[in-house]
Amino acid sequence: MSLFFIYLIQVNIALALFYLLYIILLKRDTFLWLRRFFFLSVIVFSLLYPFFTIPGLSDLWTSLFPAFQEATATVMIGEPTMAMIVEGEAVAPVAIPWEKILSWFYIAVTLAFVLRFVFQLLSIHGIWAKSEKQIISGIPVCQLKENMTPFSFFSLIFIHTGKHSETELSQILLHEQTHARQWHSVDIMLVELVCLLSWWNPFVWLLKREMAMNLEYLADKGVLSEGVDSREYQYHLLRLTYHETAVRIANNFNVSQLKQRIMMMNKTKSPALKLAKYLLMLPLAFLLVFANSCVNRDKKSGEDATTESVVTIPGSTDTPDLLPDEVGEDNSEVFVVVEEQPSFPGGNEAMMKFLADNIKYPKEAQEKGTEGRVIVNFVVEKDGRLSDFNVVRGVDPLLDSVALRVLKSMPNWTPGKQRGEVVRVRFTLPVVFRLKGKDTQDSSSVSASSAPVKESASDEVFVVVEKQPEFPGGQEALMKYLSDNIKYPMVAQENGIQGRVIVNFVVEKDGGLSEVRVVRGQDPVLDKEAVRVIEGMPKWEPGMQRGKRVRVRYTLPVVFSLQH
């Protein structure tokens, strides 16, 4: 999710909460000026608070309530590595880019609302251009040529003088002068602009309606303060009920909810003690800033934890090397574990087809019978380009050079994302060269075999197979198992020890786990705990190669992090 949409969600959460506060506690009073200040301030605050964090505020909870401080173990796993077989060929599936579809849908609807808003502004300009400018009782007005409800827009007052008596005309001018003098159009334009971007939030439309009603209350109050008879004024409003509203974004003399306006005019003034209710907006504002500070702290710590230690592809069974943390030429970090992995255009099968179409088996390698797996890693840049190619494990210079040549010719990828931001990601890709006609157990086929399930007679340990071994219930069940069973050692908690422990093990043909070992440790206590829990796992679904169960080596990173 892009930063803009995250910002938009934060703004709308704040607006929804403030609206609920208004409806529950503030709507029934008569502090109209204070209510107007409330509406304007909550809109401005909601638009600005996502940009501000208070250092140290996120640690307030743990400092006040240390008993709630928890130490948790987090497991980061991803999708299995996909090996590319030179002789294989696959048809790319049709991937539905839901994120792009929703983004374009939002843009299209927003654009429609923007055009509607522009049309309303042009309508006001058109009415102004056609109207006759007059001075009535020392007040400049625009004489309407059509039978419309009187309205004002900033300092402009529009009225059809021929449709009203002298008394009615005086009251209308007092009403619209109040709108113009108090700059009510600023409120209307501000909330309209918010609605343009937050059209999907019903609370924003409800807030807009309440703001418009409050402005009418203020204008009605301005009329009555000039000595106009309340009952006569109310009858006048009733006579204008069925007149056409000129423009939605203007301050119309007669609006809907006429009953509420009349009730407000007849309402007893609220006691001054009820003013204290408006102070409740302060703790709500504090909570929103507090939550924003916590989110930003978690984002920073999450990014730090992600780049602490590196494996090849997250959740990969193939771990030829463990790469150190990196910083690119543009001083931006190179991630290896991200929330949204980079992907070849069209997905993994499209990538398999690209490699199958473009990799040509070197004739000299064929004559020598050279085959095997070339493991290459590279960086997917923020714009999708591929750079920094390295052969992590080669087979033969000929095969290595072919694999590099084809990978370098790939089109731009869809870049990876971390916390909604596009980042640089190091990706590892094994390319398997296999000679046709050789029954090599280490080779992989792109299509799944329909042969009966058998056990391979060989005890060879595979790292890339057609069907990867899987924890019972899938990755979510694996994460739940680890979360439920890993206990953060007390010694590590007391000493603030945290980090990533990378464990390697073999999934046997019967699903049992063996040869559990720490590939990269963090601390003996954390290493021991990670090994203990993995050794206690139930049997997995074994890996499959050419329709037979085989032994597969699997690597799992376990991240221990202290949550403060």
Per residue in 491-504, pLDDT (tens digit) is 888 888 888 888 88
| Nearest to 4, CA basis, from 423, 421, 424 | 421
Report, as an integer, the average pLDDT of 87-114.
75
Q: What is the pLDDT of residue 64?
A: 59
Report, as an integer, the average pLDDT of 296-318.
42
- Which of the given ranges, 30-44, 83-97, 383-397, has the highest pLDDT on average? 30-44
Q: What is the pLDDT of residue 300?
A: 52
Name, in order, each residue with C-beta under 8 angstroms of 542's C-beta and a sequence gap of 6 or more.
469, 507, 508, 509, 510, 511, 549, 550, 552
Name, in order, each residue with C-beta under 8 angstroms of 511's C-beta and a sequence gap of 6 or more.
469, 539, 540, 541, 542
Share of the chain above pLDDT 70, in %: 78
Q: What is the pLDDT of residue 15?
A: 96
Name, in order, each residue with C-beta under 8 angstroms of 69's C-beta and a sequence gap of 6 or more.
62, 563, 564
- Site of tokens 């709308």: 12
Name, in order, each residue with C-beta under 8 angstroms of 38's C-beta and a sequence gap of 6 or more.
22, 26, 278, 281
Q: What is the pLDDT of residue 564?
A: 53
Structure tokens that stand for 383 in this block: 């714009």
Tell me whether strands 139-143 and 156-159 are parallel, antiparallel or unpaired. parallel
- For residue 122, the 8-state DSSP code is H
305 CB neighbour count, 10 Å cutoff = 19
Q: Band of the pLDDT at 85, cuts 50, 70, 90?
A: very low
Q: What is the pLDDT of residue 397?
A: 87
| Nearest to 50, CA basis, from 110, 5, 97 | 5
- Percentages helix, strand, coil for the chain, rounded to the nearest 5? 45, 20, 35
- Residue, of 437 and 362, whose pLDDT is higher: 362
Q: What is the pLDDT of residue 208?
A: 93
Residue 60 has pLDDT above 90, yes or no: no
Rounded to an integer, what distance in angstroms lies between the CA atom of residue 407 and that of residue 319? 20
| Nearest to 21, CA basis, from 267, 287, 291, 293 | 287
Extract the runs of DSSP E, i.e. beta strands, from 412-537: 416-418, 421-433, 454-455, 461-462, 499-507, 513-520
Per the document, the length of the chain is 564
Q: What is the pLDDT of residue 512?
A: 92
- Which of the given ranges, 247-256, 337-346, 409-418, has the highest pLDDT on average? 409-418
Tell me whether strands 333-335 and 421-433 are parallel, antiparallel or unpaired. parallel
Q: Band of the pLDDT at 283, cuts 50, 70, 90?
A: very high
| Nearest to 214, CA basis, from 178, 241, 238, 173 | 178
Find the farthest-apart pair of alpha carbons in the chain and give their distance in angstroms, rounded.
Answer: 107
H or E stretch covering 562: strand 548-563
Residue 305 has pLDDT above 80, yes or no: no
- Residue, of 62 and 180, whose pLDDT is higher: 180
Report, as an integer, the average pLDDT of 356-364.
83
Report, as an integer, the average pLDDT of 16-22.
95
On average, the pLDDT of the chain sits at: 78
* Partners of residue 102 on adjacent β-strands: none
Structure tokens that stand for 229 in this block: 């008879």
Report, as an integer, the average pLDDT of 309-326.
36
Q: Band of the pLDDT at 353, cuts 50, 70, 90?
A: confident
Tell me whether strands 543-545 and 139-143 are parallel, antiparallel or unpaired. unpaired
Question: Taking the domains of the chain in order of start, what are their residue ranges?
Answer: 1-52+271-306, 74-95+307-563, 98-254
CA angle 88, 89, 92 (to 5 degrees): 140
Tell me the pLDDT tens digit for each residue of 362-421. 888 888 888 887 888 889 999 999 998 988 878 888 888 888 888 999 999 999 888 788
Each residue of 21-37: b (16+ CB within 10 Å) or e?
Answer: bbeeebeebebbeebbe
Intra-chain end-to-end CA distance of the chain, in Å: 26
Name, in order, each residue with C-beta under 8 angstroms of 289's C-beta and a sequence gap of 6 or more.
49, 52, 53, 54, 57
Residue 438 has pLDDT above 60, yes or no: no
Report, as an integer, the average pLDDT of 416-437.
80
Phi, psi of 521 (to 5 degrees): -95, 170
* Partners of residue 143 on adjacent β-strands: 132, 159
- For residue 256, the 8-state DSSP code is S
Q: What is the pLDDT of residue 196?
A: 94
Q: Band of the pLDDT at 288, cuts 50, 70, 90?
A: very high
- Residue, of 422 and 313, whose pLDDT is higher: 422
Name, in order, each residue with C-beta under 8 angstroms of 433's C-beta and a sequence gap of 6 or more.
86, 359, 361, 365, 370, 371, 372, 373, 374, 395, 399, 402, 403
Under DSSP, is residue 222 helix (H, G, I), strand (E, B) or coil?
Answer: helix
Q: Which residue type sits at 434? A: R
